[in-house]
């Protein structure tokens, strides 16, 4: 089980400076809107994954008017405690664990796992395929270092290949040796990623179905359909056969970067036909399945981070979710809410809950 025991923040988001000790397995971060509840969750996530869950740029995570930040967390896993530090200064981010600075940030991925559930996650259902691929890649990148290496290799070469396509899109005399070189680098990585994704979904979908059944009282069958160019052809073949189209559009049109996950309820598209309640149940089922999958693969319970869930779920789904996360299978749960009494009522007055009470910063 992964446990967070302490966290300190300096110039991270809206925190000039703060530190918190954490003792219990269930922690509620309470405060008014704007007091920094979500930002504290994001700091925990950043310590696990070296980057923010909510912001694409580092600059967006720095206190307004500052030029650096530092977060430190004391984690306990298998009765061993280690300090993780993430800091940014002079345009450079540095990650260290137990006093050792990583040469590459990716080396830290998989060390400590957390699963975040946030209101904007609904976009994974409503928006384009990139959101769903990113969800799948984040799970596999944590639990399979070889997958992460191949994914980073594929993305690097894809950028290089696309740059070549833009450069020579209107050139009648093309030296094909370089595109052949890119294809030779991309193909093994892409084929490997495709195979791992297929196997992953075979294991993941039954978990999704289990949790959706619990949250929706067995009303629908939830599943995921995997659509990929590589289902019928190898990546070598696809890249070779589509060079002219790629040149015309100045980008690589076939490959695992175009894979799609189609979320289905009773065979119908959740995105197009699902109600808001069905989408919320599906989303929480995805996250709970992610939690169990990571726990199995990493032999340790991740930290579950729940942002503002009481505001987003109806009473029936909230009770079902609480029944699930209150079981012994789940480890440390850290959630946010504006009302302390609501959390006490939901979990019961006898539950051991630590409250981190935030004032307006």
Which tens digits make up the pLDDT trace of 290-323?
999 999 999 999 999 999 887 777 788 888 888 8
pTM over 0.85: yes
Mean pLDDT of 331-353: 86
Token pair for 137: 């890649």
Predicted pLDDT at 192: 97
CB atoms within 10 A of CB 66: 12
Predicted pLDDT at 21: 94
Mean of all residue pLDDT scores within the chain: 92
Predicted pLDDT at 252: 96
- Asked if residue 68 has pLDDT above 80, the reply is yes
Predicted pLDDT at 360: 55
Q: Please enumerate, as own/partner, the contacts of 182-186 that have beta carbons within 8 Å and a separation of 24 or more.
A: 182/157, 183/236, 183/239, 183/240, 185/153, 185/157, 186/154, 186/157, 186/158, 186/161, 186/235, 186/239, 186/255
Q: Where are the domains of the chain?
A: 1-113+300-361, 123-289
Predicted pLDDT at 161: 95
| pLDDT confidence band for 10 (50 / 70 / 90) | very high
| pLDDT confidence band for 143 (50 / 70 / 90) | very high
- Asked if residue 174 has pLDDT above 80, the reply is no
Mean pLDDT of 237-262: 95
Predicted pLDDT at 89: 94
pLDDT, tens digit, 9 for 90 and up, residues 205-225: 999 999 999 988 777 899 999
Query: What does residue 355 show for φ and ψ, rounded to 5 degrees?
Result: -110, 125
Residues 6+ apart with CB under 8 A from 244: none
Cβ pair 266, 115 in contact under 8 A: no
Mean pLDDT of 160-177: 84
Predicted pLDDT at 65: 92
CA distance 40 to 261: 31
Mean pLDDT of 14-31: 93
Predicted pLDDT at 172: 67
| pLDDT confidence band for 75 (50 / 70 / 90) | very high
> Above pLDDT 90, what percent of the chain?
77
Residues 6+ apart with CB under 8 A from 314: 277
| pLDDT confidence band for 113 (50 / 70 / 90) | very high
| pLDDT confidence band for 145 (50 / 70 / 90) | very high
Q: Strand pairing of 260-265 and 92-97?
A: unpaired
CB atoms within 10 A of CB 214: 17
CA distance 55 to 120: 12
Token pair for 179: 């595109």
| pLDDT confidence band for 344 (50 / 70 / 90) | confident
Architecture of domain 123-289: Up-down Bundle (1.20)
Predicted pLDDT at 119: 86
Residue 267 Cα to chain centre, angstroms: 26
Predicted pLDDT at 287: 96
Mean pLDDT of 160-169: 90
Of 10-19, 64-73, 178-187, 341-350, the poorest mean pLDDT is in 341-350
| pLDDT confidence band for 259 (50 / 70 / 90) | very high
Predicted pLDDT at 12: 97
Listed residue (249, 329, 253) closest to 288, CA to CA: 329
The CATH class for the domain spanning 1-113+300-361 reads: alpha beta
Instruction: Convert the chain into a string of H (helix), E (strand) and C (coil).
Output: CEEEEEEEEEEECCEEEEEEECCCCEEEEECCCCCCHHHHHHHHHHHHHCCCCCCCCCHHHECCCCCCEEEEEEEEECCEEEEEEEEEECCEEEEEECCEECCCHHHHCCCCCEEEECHHHHHHHHCCHHHHHHHHHHHHHHHCHHHHHHHHHHHHHHHHHHHHHHHCCCCCCCCHHHHHHHHHHHHHHHHHHHHHHHHHHHHHHHHHHHHHHHHHCCCCCEEEEEECHHHCCCHHHHHHHCHHHHHHHCCCCCCHHHCEEEEEECCEEHHHHCCHHHHHHHHHHHHHHHHHHHHHHHCCCCEEEECCHHHHCCHHHHHHHHHHHCCCCCCCEEEEECCHHHHHHHHCCCCCEEEEECCCC
């Amino acid at each position: 089980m992964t446990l967070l025991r302490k966290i300190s923040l300096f110039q991270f988001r809206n925190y000039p400076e703060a530190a918190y000790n954490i003792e219990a397995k269930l922690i509620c971060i309470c405060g008014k809107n704007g007091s920094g509840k979500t930002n504290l969750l994001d700091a925990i996530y950043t310590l696990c994954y070296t980057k923010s869950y909510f912001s694409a740029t580092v600059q967006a995570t720095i206190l307004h008017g500052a030029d650096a930040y530092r977060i430190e967390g004391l984690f306990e896993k298998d009765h061993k405690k280690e300090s993780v530090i993430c800091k940014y200064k002079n345009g450079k981010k540095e990650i260290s664990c137990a006093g050792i600075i990583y040469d590459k940030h990716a080396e830290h991925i998989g060390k400590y796992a957390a699963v975040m559930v946030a209101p904007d996650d609904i976009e994974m259902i409503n928006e384009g395929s990139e959101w769903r691929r990113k969800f799948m890649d984040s799970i596999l990148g944590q639990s399979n270092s070889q997958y992460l290496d191949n994914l980073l290799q594929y993305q690097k070469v894809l950028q290089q290949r696309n740059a070549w396509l833009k450069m020579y899109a209107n050139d009648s005399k093309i030296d094909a040796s370089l595109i052949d070189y890119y294809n030779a680098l991309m193909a093994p990585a892409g084929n490997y990623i495709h195979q791992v994704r297929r196997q992953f979904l075979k294991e993941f979908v039954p978990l999704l179905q289990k949790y959706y059944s619990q949250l929706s009282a067995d009303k629908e069958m939830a599943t995921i359909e995997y659509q990929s160019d590589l289902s019928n052809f190898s990546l070598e073949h696809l890249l070779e056969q589509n060079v002219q189209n790629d040149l015309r559009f100045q980008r690589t049109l076939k490959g695992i970067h175009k894979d799609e996950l189609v979320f289905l309820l009773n065979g119908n598209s959740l995105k197009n036909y699902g109600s808001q309640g069905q989408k919320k149940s599906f989303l929480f089922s995805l996250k709970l399945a992610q939690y169990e999958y990571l726990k199995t693969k990493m032999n340790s319970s991740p930290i579950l981070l729940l942002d503002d869930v009481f505001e987003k779920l109806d009473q029936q789904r909230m009770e079902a979710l609480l029944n699930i996360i209150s079981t012994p299978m789940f480890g440390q749960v850290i959630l946010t809410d504006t009302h302390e009494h609501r959390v006490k009522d939901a979990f019961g007055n006898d539950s051991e809950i630590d409250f981190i009470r935030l004032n307006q910063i």
